[in-house]
Chains A and B, each alone.
Chain A
Amino acid sequence: MRKVYAGHSSVITALGFSADENYSALFRGDCAITNEVFHDLPATTARIRNGLIDDAYAARGVSRNATRLEKLFMLSIADSLERSKINTKSGRTALVISTTKGNVGELSRRDDPESRVKLQDMADFIGRSFSFARKPWVISNACISGLSAIACAKELIASGMIDHAVVSGGDVITDFVLSGFLSFRAISDLPCAPFDADRKGLSLGEGCASIVLTSDRAVIGNEPLIEVAGCATSNDANHISGPSRDGSGLYLAVKKAMEGADVSSRDITSVSAHGTGTAYNDEMESKAFTLASLQDVPLYSLKGSIGHTLGAAGVIESVIAVETVRRKEIIASKGYVKCGVPMPLNVCVSSGALANNVCLKTASGFGGCNAAIVFAEADR
């Protein structure tokens, strides 16, 4: 099995248009979440200003008609590819797209072929724009989609089928998604506060992130080398819309990812949790991390800053997790003040330096799915 490394990346959220901009804002503790009212219901969202997307897209000199989400994908993929010097036209490179809802905002005009509401159609359109020789892979696995996409790319690079992959995750806030989460009463009327005693639900976010994965160290350049060391997914086999009450499903994914990376809980130096800010999710995570003996490891969620970005979340949070290992830092969990989960966790309250060389990233989602990935400093 070949080793797989994390290469150049890009992040677009309401906090900024590059991985660096986002990292700095998250490290500072900025929050992009604002209040809004939707059909008389209070909600919180972290939206990217439309003008910013259009300006950035126009600046690229691309004239093709694209949906708002497709523009985000194109900007993010272009950014990560520009610095990577990998050949998309080679059959040794794959594009892996992660999204939950793709162009669902175009449903009203679904009979128009340019609406590309079918996820594979959107992915093919994006793949063609960058001349990818292979047909793009699209993973739509609820809120773990981003981690599933990284896991899939990692396995196929490790097995030798391909050498490089661009993994790109994106989702935008639409009336479709906002109305759905509001109908579930899952949306907080204050910026979400993962793991906090006063948390009231999630805040919706939007964004796109891309990361190049490769078996070729030369592609990474002089950056500290971070390995995608172990990945696993699991299912609660319990309920389609509620997490398991005991955390056993997520624990299983964490255990398998750690086994794959050949690390134990003692080796994990930080945890980038899913942390949505809903009562049941955060409670479940506290139990899973305790089962895995990770309750004392510094842990954070980024959702208090940028909201829950659905199919983008796994990729955005992985890019930032990799960056924390590179920079030997940790990021404070925005919105957290007082422990509000049954099993106390070591939630990080101030960003700063940390001897951070092995990070565990997790996610859980509707359908009972869970995912875990271990990012570790190579040659440690």
Chain B
Amino acid sequence: MRIISRYASITRGVCNDNGVKTESAGDDFPSFIREIYSLRNISYPKFYKMDDLSKLAFVTSEMLLDGAGIHDRYANNDIGVILAAPHSSLDTDCAHHASITDGKYAPSPAVFVYTLANIMAGEICIRNGFTGENTVFAADSFLDDGIIPYVDALFDSKRIRACVCGEVDFFDKEYSARLFLVEERADDTQDVDSIEFNTDMIKKILY
């Protein structure tokens, strides 16, 4: 059986760490995300260079994977990262666009590199050493047609044995990140609390 072993989300001012919710008063994203970063004692200087989409994906992935012991159970090349990015990198696209329009010409490589939706998947891989399958769909939702079956197909063909899944969205001050860890469990494991990996269960825990 394929299960969701852990999950975490950050939506407007609310963190959900495996079902435990904490709210924050900070309603502007930069201070809110820095607050979570500090509260969780994350120490990762690359965080400060990231764009908002990657910061959101990164901090949510830290909540998801902290204490998961994923490296004890899987080789790095067996761990995949499959994400949906509803607005892709559109927020940072606007920043790069602004740097080259209205008479200005000052493009910055530090901004331009984040004008790709899959950079956030790369950031999660770099932080954790994951070298397995990685794909970013510019879908409206992770629940859209094709994505869950694709993750299942990757498990079925043994190309991955664990997978960081979910969707991360950031555009024009609106944001949400919903991530979960999918793993295989032996069918004879009678764990009443296990959450099966399917659309209904994802909806129930994260939406």
Q: Given contacts A138-B139, A182-B107, is CB(A155)–CB(B122) below 8 Å?
A: no
Among residues of B, the one whose C-beta sits closest to the C-beta of A180 is B112
Ordered by A's residue number, 11 sampled pairs between the chains whose C-beta atoms are within 8 Å are: A140-B138, A141-B117, A148-B135, A155-B153, A155-B154, A161-B146, A183-B109, A233-B134, A235-B125, A235-B130, A238-B126
Q: Given contacts A159-B156, A234-B132, is CB(A39)–CB(B105) below 8 Å?
A: yes
Residues in B64-94 with C-beta less than 8 Å from chain A: 76-77, 81, 85-88, 90, 93-94
Known: A118-B138, A155-B150. 18 other contacts (CB 8 A): A94-B146, A104-B97, A107-B93, A108-B97, A117-B93, A118-B87, A120-B138, A139-B135, A155-B157, A156-B149, A159-B153, A161-B146, A180-B96, A235-B121, A249-B131, A256-B159, A365-B118, A369-B134
Q: Quick check: is B59 within 8 A (CB to CB) of the other chain?
A: no
A residues near B (Cβ < 8 Å) are 1, 39, 94, 100-102, 104, 107-108, 110, 117-120, 123, 134-135, 137-142, 148, 151-152, 155-156, 158-159, 161, 175-176, 179-184, 232-241, 249, 252, 256, 260, 365-369
B94 pairs with A233, CB closer than 8 A:
no
Q: Quick check: is B100 within 8 A (CB to CB) of the other chain?
A: yes
Tell me the minimal C-beta distance from A108 to chain B in angstroms. 7
A176 to B90, CA, bound (A): 12
A134 to B130, CA, bound (A): 32
B76, B134, B152, B159: the one within 8 Å of A141 (CB): B134
- Which residues on A sit within 8 Å (CB–CB) of B126? 237-240, 368
A-contact bits for B95-130, CB 8 A (1 contact / 0 none): 011001100010111001101111101110110111
- Which residues on B sit within 8 Å (CB–CB) of A161? 146, 149, 153
Number of interface residues of B (CB under 8 A): 55
- Which residues on B sit within 8 Å (CB–CB) of A240? 113, 119, 122-123, 126
A137 pairs with B132, CB closer than 8 A:
no
B100 pairs with A179, CB closer than 8 A:
yes
B81, B86, B94, B107: the one within 8 Å of A235 (CB): B81
Tell me the minimal C-beta distance from A201 to chain B in angstroms. 14
Q: Quick check: is B140 within 8 A (CB to CB) of the other chain?
A: yes
Q: Given contacts A152-B146, A183-B112, is CB(A120)–CB(B131) below 8 Å?
A: no
Q: Given contacts A100-B116, A118-B88, A152-B150, is CB(A141)–CB(B131) below 8 Å?
A: no
A156 pairs with B150, CB closer than 8 A:
yes
A94 to B85, CA, bound (A): 20
Please indicate which of the listed interface residues A118, A235, A240 has the most CB atoms of chain B within 10 Å of its own CB.
Answer: A235
A234 pairs with B156, CB closer than 8 A:
no
Q: Given contacts A117-B90, A237-B128, is CB(A137)–CB(B139) below 8 Å?
A: yes
